[in-house]
A and B are shown apart, each in its own frame.
Chain A
Amino acid sequence: MKNSLIILTFFAIGVILGQLGDNTLLPAADRVSIWVLGLLMFLVGITLGGDSDTLRQLRSIHPRLLLVPAATIVGTLGGAALTTLLPGSPSLTECLAVGSGFGYYSLSSVLLNQSHGATLGTVALVSNILRELFTLLFAPLLVRLAGPLAPICCGGATTIDTTLPVIARFSGKDFIFVSIIHGIIIDFSVPVLVTLFSTL
């Protein structure tokens, strides 16, 4: 939660700078962000690849557990696809690309900012922040309505970090492992799916 606030503060400072500043900042910001995005992806890769515990856990998990991230992906993409039918909504692939952020707002918004411009980048940022917030706020209600997997699937990519504490608290200790495995798989699928839908 603290990290989310720090990240959002930097974003807000950026928006204010952008509004105040003359537009000479803009090309510089664009150029910087491509390089920094590359660096970010490299670092994410190192943390994923270097974690031998994670890889060992992934190899030994029960196939049943894979149904949880599958439910997240199918449900999210299905639901996001339906929203394209509403008047004024973005196109199907844009809705799918925004949905594919699975709450990982920093990464998905930056990726879409690069490929589709600031408009869709902003939609992805707000949409995925809302998803994380919704999970944090409504985890107890979700457990009661749809069972202990509901906040895990709802949390998407955040179930390995920011939403893990509320999941542990409301879904129960038995679901911590499920939540972590789910978070790793969804984390990994964010750049893959966002890239896929933004190139379609």
Chain B
Amino acid sequence: MFTILTIMFAGILCGRLTRRYPDIRRTAGRLLLPVICLLLLAMGVGIGANTQVMHHLSTLGLQALIITVGAVAGTILCAWIVYTRFFRAHHEK
């Protein structure tokens, strides 16, 4: 997995070094969507062919929902604390 991070940092370095050529960045940005589509297509094939996943889809969906509810609830609480403590006074001025 760290290989993946290393590749990203290599990309950041290349991006920094080629900053003067915005075309490179723009092309990279434009390639993102087709590459993501290709990845999700490949991932879909893997999931569709995986009978274990397909049979337990409702259980997996429920697990996903529970994690989302927990994560979102914690996030809303923290957002509220940060807003009332550090932002409201500035914002309402």
**Chain A residues at the B interface, C-beta cutoff of 8 Å:** 3, 6-8, 10-21, 23, 25-26, 29-30, 32-33, 36-52, 64, 67-68, 70-72, 74-83, 86, 88-90, 95, 98-99, 106, 109-111, 113-115, 118-119, 121-128, 130-131, 134, 142, 145-150, 152-154, 156, 174, 191-192, 195, 198-199
Contacts and interface: CB of A to CB of B under 8 A. Distances in A.
B7 to A, nearest CB: 5
Given A20-B48, A21-B48, 5 more contacts: A14-B42, A72-B78, A90-B63, A111-B4, A147-B79
A83 B67 contact: yes
B80 A150 contact: yes
A49 to B, nearest CB: 3
A191 B4 contact: yes
Contacts of A134: 68, 72
Nearest to A71: B78
A45 B7 contact: yes
Interface of B: 1-5, 7-16, 18-19, 22, 24-25, 28-29, 31-33, 35-50, 52-54, 56-57, 59-61, 63-84, 86-88, 90-91
Contact of B87 (A3, A10, A121, A149): A149
B24 A147 contact: no
A7 B42 CA distance: 12
A170 B48 CA distance: 38
A36 B42 contact: yes
A21 B44 CA distance: 12
A99 B44 contact: no
Contacts of A99: 67, 70-71
Contact of B36 (A7, A18, A88, A113): A7
Across the A-B interface, the 5 shortest Cβ-Cβ residue pairs: A45-B11, A14-B44, A18-B48, A79-B74, A49-B15
A40 B35 contact: yes
B4 A67 contact: no
